[in-house]
Structure 1
Amino acid sequence: MQVLPLLLLELGGHSVEVAHTLIEVGRFALIVLAARALAELMVRLQLPTILGELLAGVLIGLSGLHLILPPDLGAQLNGALVAAVAGLSHLAPDQVSALYNDSFANLQSVARLGLYALLFLTGLECELEGLIAVAAQAVGVALTGVLLPLALGTAGLHLLFHVPLLPALFAGAAMTATSIGITASVFGELGVLKSREGQIVIGAAVLDDILGIVILAVVVSLAAGGSISAGPILQLLAAAAVFVAVSLLLSRKAAPLFDGLLDRLKAPGEAVAVAFLVLCLGCFAAQAIGLEAALGAFAAGLVLSNSRHAHAIEAAIQPLVALFATVFFVLIGTTMDLAVLNPLEPANREGLVVAAFLLGIAVVTKLAAGFSYRSAEPTNRWLVGLGMMPRGEVGLIFLGLGSQAGLLNPALEAAILIMVIGTTFLAPVLLRLVLSPAQPAATG
């Protein structure tokens, strides 16, 4: 779509430049303002800020005020917004709408950068060495927490609700995730982050993320190919396994080389610049072998997780995540059509049943993971199971990529969203009930 060059020729540069600037700057400012306002509300309710960002997108998007709308939704932009920009730039309303649609790809690029930065940060925060003491328990919890929801979710959707296999597999994969950030935050408040239960959950969540992102990369790649057969699946799984294994190896071997390079650089901002290059290389390498770039971003963080400069890199990347990942989550919210959740509409009732099914499977399977490991020492298994429950930002990443890949219809998209929000809301509340700050962690 080449609307912008045509307008420049027909109307002269100044009016188009004014409208373009108003659209770009106003859109970004609106996203940040709405996201921060609702994030502040979530903090006061002791809930994850990411839910505020998602709800901000719902408020200003398709289900709300129609202030931010991806062009592919085919919905009408807020008339007052279009009229305001048209009046200030002296363009016709239909020309403003055309400019808006033509420039939306810029905002999506910012959102994608935020996603990759967030996944890079997730990999960077994986303290692999500190998890060795509970490795056996963490592996047991992780495998159960991945395989059970993947199998039950996929089979249930495909056999009971007749969802096509690829979208069903994607929904099952979305349930494998565990939000390290939300669980770590609640565990920290309760003073059990360094307990045996806390380390088991963090270790299992790291493995969940690795396995889940590998599964996600395979499913999205299969969706791009348009068919399911054993050969491509095995090839993708082998490529993903090798990719992650090489990343883990490089986290030990390449960190000294990376540190040596940074020690020689003197210009300000060297840590974030070189880390960003590693991030780009990871994304490029993943795409080059047919995997999703998201896996490459996560793997790049793993590679640098053993660096002496890891904390400096984390401090430098955090502002990028805080700003650009916010755009990613808000854009997810803008595409949500909550009208499909209206129980008064008969056509929606099957979708609501699907949502209830997904939420139930998501809760039960992660609780089961808390009882799936052997431990010679007494541990609070309810604490472990509930700690694995929140899908949080990782589940939303899955949802966003599924939407971008065209895998989900509106009803299934809304059902996955309910599953993510439900587990993310429930987990902090139930964790506080199971374990108060003064209560000991281990119970048996």
Structure 2
Amino acid sequence: DTPNIETIILATNGSLYKYNTGSSTFSTTGGTFVNSTNQLEFAQLNNKLFWTDGSSDLQFTDGTDNHKQGTKIASITVTNDGSGYTSVPTVTIGTPTAGYGTTATAIATVVSNKVTAITVTNAGSGYLTAPSVTITGGGGSGATATANISTQLAPSGLRLIKSFTNRLFAVGTGESRNTLYASDILDPEIWKTTNSIIVGGDDGEDIIAIQPFYGFQIIVFKRNKIYLVDVTPSTTTTSGTSVLSLTNSAAEWTVQTVSNRIGCIAGRSVALVNKDVFFLANDGIRSISRSLADDFSTVGLTISEPVKDIIARINRSFISTCNATFHNNRYLLAIPLDSATNPSHILVYNSIFNCFEGLWEVAAARMVETSFSSGFATNTIKLCIGTTNSRVGHLTDYKDSDSVDINTGFQDFGTGYTSKVVTKAYEFDDRFALKYGSHYEVEFFNSGST
């Protein structure tokens, strides 16, 4: 979503697609990813949407074109200073290789008829490999130099990515599966090696999810542990005023252990819910604020204790497909129940009333809040739902009973659905004897039932 482009981007079967305004169809953007079986992760920074697949390089789209994320020229090293230079020679740097960007520029320094240094005056952008550096003119010959970019390229194989405090944060794979990386502030082309930190490298667990929290804090989830990483940038003082540095080092970050016994088992189940962060743990749905408050020797009840029968039905073999979002004061968790291999239902928790209010039979492969307005009657925030059978729709939220069409107002993709209500059980202080209801009253308003 940018000032010039507003579109929905989705990923399926190894390709990226965008919504065609006015035609209710999707067309390919040309963007691809290496591993079509991996879950793709997206993050928007400024006017670009970045994605990772855990196998290939970091890529982005501006809504029209797709590119691998390149970088800038970090420095130029003189490999042969030449001789006979009576004036400053011209330095020419090769063009970017990422299919976008600007060509870098530099100037040479001549001392005693030799090229002693080359200073980058414009670092350029869009370089995937080190460009050529050519030195001509100046009355001399023999001077050569090489450009350096390797210390600034985004690591390959990133699998998690978030946009936070005007920079990108990501997690690697393989030997880097516990490494938290960061781009420079306001510059996704710069990923210095000093802007990374290993989180809990000695615990033997992979990072499952990262979630921006408050201030400059990021919550790092593992399967049985939770960490809080403070990535506050350093400050410099100019004319008595403290200014955040745009190039701080990860050496200044701090890591705090929140829990060494509770973690997250489904990375996409993590969602910011008002002042808390909800996630799916081994024993059900929990919140990070409650984990912070728990005594380490005591495990309290999970948020999902009232619906533990539903939690017990989650297919653990495919629990990684669970995904969640927070919309309209509700935490919505898509889960694969029973033998389902993809999410088959959405469990809904109302954060205002602190209770679960529904189990929807909607196969949501991914849920994302969006302000996308084309084709809709209102410009309000909407919940976009991508289903496991390649459909994209949106939640219509609350409908006024006096104006809704009872024939078409309660449908999923044009098909009516059956609703049922499960009430609270009353035992009347007798837990053993069976109870049988003798009288029921049900009142319908504007019902189309027969």
TM-score above 0.5, yes or no: no
TM-score, scaled to structure 1 = 0.21
Bigger share in strand: 2
TM-score, scaled to structure 2 = 0.21
- Bigger relative contact order, structure 1 or 2 (CA pairs below 8 A, ≥6 apart): 1
